[in-house]
Amino acid sequence: MRKEFICIECPNSCKLVVDIENDKVVNVTGNKCKKGETYAKCEVENPSRVLTSIVLAEGLEIKMVPVRTNKPIAKKLILTAAEEIKKIRINNSVKVGDIIVPDFLNTGADLVATREVRNE
Amino acid sequence: MIERDLVIVGGGPAGMAAAVSAHENGVKDILLLERDQFLGGILNQCIHTGFGLNYFKEILTGPEFADRFIKKIDDIKDIEVSLKSFVIKLNNNLEITYLKPGEMNEVKAKAVIMATGCRERTREMAHIAGTRPSGIFSAGLAQKLINVEGLLAGNEVVVVGSGDIGLIMARRMTLEGAKVKAVIEIQKQSKGLVRNIVQCLDDFGIPLYLSHKISRIYGQDRVNKVDVVKVDDKYNEIPGTKFEISCDTVLISAGLIPENELIEMAGVEIDRKTNTPVATDKNKTSIEGLFVCGNAFQIYDLVDSVARDSILAGKMAAEYLKDKK
């Protein structure tokens, strides 16, 4: 089977032509770099995305702390994960990269802060 | 009046990159004015990924990209950062007046770099007819409300314009539990990056209507529906194609306009169509020693390009100051 994808790894947005056999990628063309090949493989075999969101802060200098998963997580988990993030609270200062929730939802990815936020 | 070698107006990516670059090129006396209480500018509300791939060779979120520059600035003691500092006046002698809580300050600069960024085009500029209820936001305002204030702009959303901010916000509202019913684009093609159509719309099954426009907004206190109609090549409505979408929120993503009132006040020649300075060269203006960089000089798609050209502006200002001595 042949499928077309747009690579989302960078703003080039390469148009990938992907040959798939038994749910596995056997050939990728149209990519300008190696990332396209990895993306196509991932998109066919285990589609995943980095999730970014915000977590409510308590007693910090700003109200919302921006966060991300430090690795892509399964695409089908994204909406559940976005809901789960709403339950989290941060009540101490954080630096960029500080882990808020390790192994978030057993995905193997940590939820980390993306902004330095000090105590009030 | 206090005198400074270089004053930079705006502490977003453009201003920070220009400041670091000017310092690297030998400027020892830099004042960086920022109206917000933090450095970082619009990056602070751009919590999504996609920044820094060219400049840092990594995929960062907006706040992470800002953090890298904030740390550089913190380490350079020749750069004085003045927050909550709102510039109200600039003249052709490079004298700047700015407000800080409880005080008004004046400074005379040998060179000035304006890194004032841009603002969003409004509903009025997009010529959308109808009532004026609440529930109509520019996409960037809705982005600030959710990502900085933690407030969701609405529950049933139609996005007008498929620029990157509109696409990013379609996803963002969806992730926060809103139902994004459609993105309406008057052009035949989206102005946004294709990757954003894939990861912001296709991932969530949000329909994109190309060659369509919103012909009317309805609602008394709050938006309750919009009319959508197909348009021909000349953007005229095609009869018989109208349909309605019920919604309580309309987000407008109709492009950006450089914010250049201050240089205009100083007498810089401005191109009325683009609101950018008329210039012989990148980052220059018709006033000697007055430079403009980042989205104030021209609208960029990527912050990486803003940083690249602002670094150039910092260097240009440094060379100007050297020549002046």
Nearest to A66 among B63, B177, B193 (CB): B63
User: Contact A10/B195, CB-based, under 8 Å?
Assistant: yes
User: Contact B49/A82, CB-based, under 8 Å?
Assistant: no
Rounded mean pLDDT of A41-52? 91
Tokens of A48: 């995943």
Chain B residues whose beta carbon lies within 8 Å of the beta carbon of residue A34: none
Nearest to A13 among B64, B177, B195 (CB): B195
What is the assigned CATH class of domain B122-252?
Answer: alpha beta
pLDDT over 80 at B242, yes or no: yes
What is the structure's pLDDT at A46? Answer: 87
C-alpha to C-alpha distance for A104 and B280, rounded to whole angstroms: 53
CA pseudo-torsion sign A62, A56, A82, A88: positive
User: Contact A64/B150, CB-based, under 8 Å?
Assistant: yes
**What's the mean pLDDT when you consider all of chain B?**
96
C-alpha to C-alpha distance for B111 and B45, rounded to whole angstroms: 30
Nearest to A8 among B38, B177, B195 (CB): B195
pLDDT over 90 at B182, yes or no: yes
pLDDT digits 0-9 by tens, B273-316: 999 999 889 999 999 999 999 999 999 999 999 999 999 999 99
Task: Tell me the count of A-B CB pairs closer than 8 A.
Answer: 80
Nearest to B67 among A5, A64, A116 (CB): A116
* Topology match between the domains B2-119+256-324 and B122-252: yes
Chain B residues whose beta carbon lies within 8 Å of the beta carbon of residue A3: none
Q: How far is A80 from chain B (nearest CA, A)?
A: 9
C-alpha to C-alpha distance for B155 and B142, rounded to whole angstroms: 12
Strand order in the sheet with B243-246: B212-218, B225-230, B243-246
pLDDT digits 0-9 by tens, B15-70: 999 999 999 999 999 999 999 999 999 999 999 999 999 999 999 999 999 999 99
Rounded mean pLDDT of A97-116? 98
What is the assigned CATH class of domain B2-119+256-324?
Answer: alpha beta
Domain ranges of chain B: 2-119+256-324, 122-252
> Among A37-51, B16-30, B42-56, B217-231, where is mean pLDDT lowest?
A37-51
pLDDT bracket for residue A8 (50, 70, 90): confident
- Three-state secondary structure of B236-249: CECCCCCEEEECCE
